[in-house]
Structure formats: structure tokens, C-alpha cells
Amino acid sequence: MSAPKLSAVEGLKAASHGLRGTLAEELAAGGIQVSEDAYQLLKFHGSYEQFDRDTATDRKQHGLEKEYQFMLRVRMPGGRLTAAQYLALDALADDRANRTIRITTRQGIQFHGILKGDLKPAIADINRTLLTTMSACGDVVRNIMCSPTPTRDARHARLWEDAQALSEHLKPKSRAYYEIFLDEPPNPAADEEETLYGPTYLPRKFKIGITHEADNTIDVLTNDLGIIAKFEGDTLLGYTIAVGGGLGMTHNNARTYPRLATPVAFVDPGELFGIVDAVIALQRDHGDRTNRRRARLKYVVDDQGLPWIRDTLATYFGKPLTEPPPLKLQVPDLLGWHEQGDGLLWLGVPVAAGRIRDEGDMRLRSALRIIARRFTPGLTLTPQQDVLLTDIAPADRAAVEAVLRDHGVTLAGAISPMAQYALSCPALPTCGLALTEAERMHPEIVGGLDALLARHGLADRRLSVRITGCPNGCARTYAGDIGIVGRMPGFYAVFVGGDFEGTRLNFKLLEKVAHADVIRLFDPLFAAWAAQGQGEGFGDFCHRLGRDRLLGLQAAEAA
Ligand code: HEM
Ligand code: SF4
């Protein structure tokens, strides 16, 4: 039998001369689009070519070309920015993008609506702020997530240092990015050998998150590689290593599914790079390069089984693996005012669906710009798509809050915990894969659920609601109490039964719910949770009852 054919992207990577391809020429060539090959390579440098889906059909009917535009993703481990960096990104939103800044679910920032001619200058602008878009997308290690909790102690400092060090360590060696986007001359003396990735990089995207048990805001187990540090007081004892998380799936393809990472080892503090390299090398050599839908590490874990994974990982690591201790993950509340532990304060500001913009009376973008200029706080973006303004002097507390209030910004105390934790992916009109709306119906879903929760006396309960426009799960839809997933235009699949702490996947309750019925279906479920819940979270309640009994509640309501 002949070996299965490698996917087309594998050939492209191999022939790309270190991710260069024809990108430089195509970017210089004018026009509004790039070729298919350049589209694929561009991802490695942090950009997706997209088009405005709102105008595409009408333009086609009038014989006009689609309005091509580019999404650009900034890589920033742990979502940390200085005020100066934030201000530069804020200016870029006006100069080169669609006047909005989007906080992503992986603590990054995305710009939308960049025209082809602005792409290279935008990337140069970002690099001038000492940030980068390199490896923000593509078949490499993406932005590394890290506990966003701004408590200034040795534990959080260590996590942040680790995230930064890993991010540096795992950057591709290719100089392509610097040559193509920053006009640096080729350097024949530079060592560009991809010693870890190899010439064809990884079979697919690879996600890493690092945190400790007290902060699972990052949903650490949804990463290909989840790292959970264990401390005794301020002393780092080591890291639990969990492998094979990943959420993307395809409707009607049972061979694709979401999976949470499995803890497989505990390593000493000095062994972090060694085990990370070992996990990446295992996926590099054993990940499926023939079928991109099954190319993630999670499928290697399931196809080969955990004993094989442990043995093989030990071989790459060069020593036997130590059994990891049990995990107890928690999710802290980060919004509102908190003491950092160094005499300064942080303020967590909720950002609905992660979109920072000025709209009507709610002028969040202006407010953040003024605060960044006047008070120079640090900024930390959270995996809940919110922003934490850090290092604020207690004497400035009232003034900072006044700026936000004067700009109509909703503060955490004014919205329910459900609204604070709700996530949405961008979906329409930018994402080419979106089947339905997500971000643009965020206010409607959150408002509707809020009203229902209030009606059942549940307004103060924490639960996680996550909405995506397709099954890829960019807003971690399968790891929340409730997942609402675009199924086909106008219809959503509804998932329930995950847990707030991010330790259990949810399950599909209904396959195809019309947009108009999405809120209504939660009425009997919330009523039952209020009446029969045993103090447990909504997802725990749904998990305990199971799909059939939950469907029975639906049927009883309909009768
Ligand atoms: C496996 C299939 C997936 C594909 C093909 C995919 C593709 C995409 C595309 C095209 C976008 C750009 C949308 C836009 O900004 O207009 C996007 C956004 C994003 N994706 Fe995915 N994605 C996948 C799964 C995931 C998963 C499982 C996660 C993490 C849990 C994730 C995290 C993100 C993030 C953080 C963004 C930025 C948007 C935001 O949340 O603000 N993606 N993805
Ligand atoms: S979940 Fe689907 S629709 Fe939403 S951003 Fe990801 S790929 Fe696009």
C-alpha cells in the first residue's frame, strides 16, 4: 500500500524557503488580494486574508469583486501590554484598520479590515512597539496564554517569566518575517535551521497555556499543551504537563471532536523547556500530515492511547515520566477593583465580546485611550476578552473610574456574572468560516439570558456562556456551562453540561435550534436549576441530569 498523500499545505511549507514563498513580491505588486499559496503562508506571519461578507453577495450580483481585507493578530504572551504599546495599537486601529480593537479569547489583539497596501506598514507599526504578529497564526506554537491575575507576588511573576521565555524559545528561526515585513536584508550568516520544528513546521496550529491551579481563567486544558505550576508558598515545586487539548470539530464528522488535555507528567522547575520540546517533537513526528482536520495532537493521543503517549514522550524527554498530582482548578473573579499586593490596584473592565470601540454613548475606546495617557497603567488582556488596568495608585482610583463613567462604560458591578463571563468569536462579517452570527448577536443572547436568569432568581450565579459562528470553537464553546454553536444560517447547536472551572466538556443538547428559539429553550432549564439545583453550577446541574432528562424538561414545557 502506498503511503497516504500529504496535505497540500505540507508541500507548500516544504517549498516555501522558510515561509517566504512569493509573499514579498505579492505584497509589493498592488491589487487587493494575494494568491492561495501566499494566503496560507501569510497565516504564519499573523494575518488572514478575508472579505467583507456583508457586501459580498450584493457585489457579486452587480458583477463587482469582493471587498478583500486582512485580519492581523498581535502576539503578546499572557496578554500583557504597556500603556505606550496600547496607545500605539489604538492609533493603528484608526490609521490602518476598522477603528476597533478586538481582544481575542487567547489574550491577543486582532485588527480587522486592513487593506492589502496597509498590511506591511501595519506590521512595521506593531514591531516598532516591540510587539509582533509573527507566529500568531499558522502551523507553529501560537500566542502563549498565561494566568492574567495581576497579583504582584513571586508565583505570578514566575508564571509570566516562564510564558515569555517559552514564547521566545518557540519562535521560528526563519528570518522571513523580518525580510518580508521589516525590510531587513537577508543575512547569509544567520542560522535559520528550525531545529525544533523541522523544515515543514508542525502538522497544525499548536497551543500552549501556563497557569497554576488557582487561576484557570485560561482554560488550560483546552490547549494542546497545558502547563500547571505547583507552588508551596512562593516556592515552585514543578509543573503538571497535560497534553492533547483542542476544541475544533466539524459538524457531521464523528472523527473530529473537542477534547480536554490529559495530565501525563510532573516535571521539576528546571525541566520545563525539556518537556515542552519533547511534547512538540512528538507532535511534529507523529501528528497527521495527511488530513488537516485530524492533524492536532489530541488525535495522536486518542489514536495511540495514553500508555503509548507516556512511553514515547519519555523517550523524547530522555527520562521516565513522574505521575502528576491530582488537579483542583479554580476560576478567580478578576473584574472590578482589587489590591495587587504591592500597594497598587488593578481594575478589571468588562469588554462585551472583546470589542473595544466607540459606539453611541458607550465610548470605551476613547476612555481607555485617556486612561492610558493620563495614568500610564499596565494592561493585561484576559481570556474572557476583558481588560485589566494594572498598577493604579489608590489616589487615582476615583479619577480612573470617573473617566470610564463619563464615557458611558459599563463597569463590572453593573452587569451579572453571566454577562461578565460570556464570550463570542468574531464570526460575521469577517470570518470566512462563519455559518452564523456570533459577536453581533452577543448583546441579544446575553440580554435574553440575563432576563431569564433574573426571572428565576439566578441573576447572581456565575455561569459561562460561549457563542461561536461555526463548530471550530474559537470562543472555547465546548468548555463552558453553555455553548451556542453556529450550525447553518439562522440555526445553532446548543451544548450544556461543561463546568465553570473548565475541567469537563459540555455535550450537545440540541442539534439545530432556530435563532428565535435559542433563549426560550433555557427557560425550563433555568427553572429546574432554580428549583432542583443542589447549590451546583448550571453546567454541573445539566451534567447530573443528563441529556434525556433535560430534553424531558423541554418537552414538558412544550406540552
Ligand atoms: C480548528 C479549527 C479552527 C479554525 C480553522 C479557526 C480559524 C479562525 C479564523 C479564520 C479566525 C479569524 C476570525 C476573525 O477574526 O474574523 C479565528 C479567530 C480566532 N480563533 Fe480560531 N479557528 C479554529 C479553532 C480555534 C480554537 C479551538 C480556538 C481556541 C480555543 C481558536 C482561537 C481563536 C482566537 C483567539 C481567534 C481570535 C478571535 C477572537 O476570539 O477574538 N480558534 N479562528
Ligand atoms: S468559531 Fe468559526 S466563525 Fe468563529 S471565528 Fe472561529 S472559525 Fe470563525
Tell me the β-bridge partners of 529.
none
Q: What is the pLDDT of residues 247-266, one digit of tens each?
A: 999 989 999 999 999 999 99
Taking only the tens place, the pLDDT of each residue in 117-141 is 999 999 999 999 999 999 999 999 9
Which of ligand 1's atoms lies nearest the C-alpha of 247? 27
- Annotate 237-304 with three-state secondary structure: EEEEEEECCECCCCCCCCCCCCECCEEEEEECHHHHHHHHHHHHHHHHHHCCCCCHHHCCHHHHHHHH
Pocket residues for ligand 2 (CB within 6 Å)?
425-427, 431, 433-434, 438, 468-470, 472-474
The ligand 1 atom nearest the CA atom of 473: 27
With a cut of 80, say whether residue 2 has pLDDT above it: no
Buried b (16+ CB within 10 A) or exposed e, 35-55: eebbebbbbbbbbbbbbbbee
State the ligand closest to the CA atom of 433: 2
The confidence score (pLDDT) of residue 559 equals 76
Torsion sign, CA atoms 165, 167, 170, 172:
negative
**The pLDDT value given to residue 558:** 77
Residue 414 burial class via C-beta count within 10 angstroms: exposed 0-12, middle 13-18, buried 19 and up: exposed
Which residues have a catalytic role annotated?
A: 73, 142, 205, 207, 425, 431, 470, 474
Global pTM exceeds 0.75? yes
Phi, psi of 316 (to 5 degrees): -60, -35
The CA distance from 116 to 113, in Å, is 9
pLDDT band at 3 (very low <50, low <70, confident <90, very high): confident
Triad 434, 111, 147: Cα angle to 5°: 90
Distance 396 CA to ligand 2 centre (A): 39
**Candidate from 103, 251, 470, 477 with most ligand 2 atoms within 8 A of CB, to mutate:** 470
392 bridge partner residues: 345
pLDDT-based confidence at residue 307 (cuts at 50, 70, 90): very high
Ligand 1 center–CA 51 separation, angstroms = 16
CA 548 – ligand 1 centroid, Å: 32
Mutate to test the pocket of ligand 1, among 7, 73, 221, 425 (most ligand atoms within 8 A of CB): 425
> What residue owns the CA closest to ligand 1's atom 18?
474
| Ligand 1 neighbours by CB, cut-off 6 Å | 48, 50, 71, 102, 104-106, 110, 222, 247-248, 354, 425-426, 430-431, 433, 472-476
Atom number of ligand 2 nearest to Cα 485: 1
Among the bound ligands, the one closest to the CA of 423: 1
Judged by DSSP in three states, 235 sits in strand
Spatial distance between the Cα atoms of 112 and 98, rounded to a whole number of angstroms? 6
How high does pLDDT run on average in the chain? 97
**How do residues 185-219 score in pLDDT, each as one tens digit?**
999 999 999 999 999 999 999 999 999 999 999 99
Nearest-atom number in ligand 2 for the CA of 477 is 1
Q: What is the pLDDT of residue 175?
A: 97
Q: Span 145-152, mean pLDDT?
A: 98
- Give residue 325 CA to ligand 2 midpoint distance, Å: 35
443-482: pLDDT as tens digits: 999 999 999 999 999 999 999 999 999 999 999 999 999 9
Q: What is the number of the ligand closest to the CA of 486?
A: 2
Strands 345-349 and 336-339: antiparallel
Average pLDDT for 518-545:
97
Say which ligand is closest to the CA of 53. Answer: 1
Q: CA 292, 297, 298: angle at the middle one, nearest 5?
A: 100
> Probe ligand 2: pick from 50, 428, 472, max atoms within 8 Å of CB?
472
**Mutation choice for ligand 2 from 423, 468, 495, CB with most ligand atoms inside 8 A:** 468
Of 527, 174, 43, 100, the C-alpha closest to 355 is: 100
pLDDT classification of 1: cutoffs 50, 70, 90: low
User: What share of the chain in percent tops pLDDT 70?
Assistant: 100
pLDDT of residue 284: 98
What was the pLDDT predicted at 220? 98
Q: Which ligand is nearest to the CA of 385?
A: 1
Residue nearest atom 2 in ligand 2 by C-alpha distance = 470
Burial class from Cβ neighbours inside 10 Å (0-12, 13-18, 19+) for residue 342 reads exposed
Ligand 1 atom showing the smallest separation from residue 425 Cα:
40
How far does the centroid of ligand 1 lie from the alpha carbon of residue 105, in Å?
9
Cα distances (angstroms) measured from residue 490 to each of 260, 439, 443, 518, 559: 29, 14, 17, 11, 25
Predicted confidence (pLDDT) per residue in 427-448, tens digit:
999 999 999 999 999 999 999 9
Atom of ligand 2 nearest to the CA of 431: 8
